[in-house]
Amino acid sequence: MAAVGNLLTPPLRGFLEIDPKTLDVERLGFPPGDPQARARLADVVQSFATGFNTALGADPASLDFKALPHDLRGFAFEGAAMGVALVDLGTLSGGRRVRALAEGAGARYIHLIHVGVGWAYARTHLHPWTGIRFGRPLLRWLVWDGWGFHQAFFKSRRVLVRHWVERPARGTMRTIRDQGVGRALWFYAGGDPVGVAGTIGAFPAARRSDVWAGIGLAAAYTGALPPERLGELLDRAAGFEEHIAQGAAFAAKAHVVSQEVPERSAAAIETLTGAAPAVAAAWTDEAAVTAERCGGGPEGYEVWRARVRQAWRKHNEG
């Protein structure tokens, strides 16, 4: 693959770079949360910022985050995807840098790449897929998940307390966007099961399942809580276990594709799904076959999630 250079001058890179202090949870007004989880999530956020800032001045096809612990590299690639997507949108390149990242250094983190691109669209107030096209049609909807995370993380009171939904995300996109909202809630609540359940309980009833799915995804992918605390989370999520399991299965697939399943995440996946990571990941593969027959629209994405939930029920009823 030919190298894709970065056209940003040092002054422009300096203007776009994220100051890690702006992601500090105290500055953002987040609750204290669980101390153990909060420390882990702080490392996650800093890794995202590292990926973003590095990507602004590097060839996206050859980005390398091997200096980071393996259980933080996915978050760095998520940040890198946001960075290169912003450059692509600003230079009207048609997504050249995003594709270089997705097909090169970031290929093992393809789910995180899609989510990171969603951050860029939310930051620029552009409708997802404006000016950038890449990837498998079914995975493209994860961009809306990234959009939702960005909005809930930076506009937490509007999104998590007042339950505001942006105009572009209303309608069929709202369920996917709300999964991203759930992932951000995991960070907002600092992994505290009481805070998570209380916040979701105040959401309109029709939206709670999607937010719980995001909690499952974030809890499993970050591995921020030990199994015993995740057991408390499941107790407080009574009636939504299959949605948590769907999110955790998505996290399992992302880790399996990366060829690195951290012990902390493996334990979380097994607690939230009742299955080993490889088994839960296989649910998503089997479900995707059916979903892709439904076409490339958001309906297919919802079929994907529903079939994963069905696989979880079958596994646990057996």
> Does 78 map to a domain?
yes
Report CA-CA distances (Å) from 269 to 5, 84, 151, 262.
Answer: 38, 30, 26, 10
pLDDT in tens, 77-87: 999 999 999 99
Residue, of 2 and 149, whose pLDDT is higher: 149
> Does 145 map to a domain?
yes
> Does 5 map to a domain?
no
Predicted confidence at residue 57, as pLDDT, reads: 86
Q: Is the pLDDT of residue 11 over 50?
A: no
> Does 136 map to a domain?
yes
In sequence order, which residues have a C-beta less than 8 Å from that of residue 298 and are 6 or more positions away? 141, 172, 173, 175, 176
> Does 302 map to a domain?
yes
Q: Which structural domain range is residue 51 located in?
A: 10-317
Compute the average pLDDT of residues 172-192.
Answer: 97
Compute the average pLDDT of residues 285-297.
Answer: 92
Predicted confidence at residue 3, as pLDDT, reads: 47
Q: Is the pLDDT of residue 9 over 80?
A: no
User: What is the number of domains present in the chain?
Assistant: 1
pTM of the model: 0.94
Predicted confidence at residue 171, as pLDDT, reads: 86
Compute the average pLDDT of residues 133-146.
Answer: 93
> Does 2 map to a domain?
no
Q: Is the pLDDT of residue 178 over 50?
A: yes
> Does 32 map to a domain?
yes
> Does 229 map to a domain?
yes
Cα–Cα distance between 265 and 281 in angstroms, integer? 13
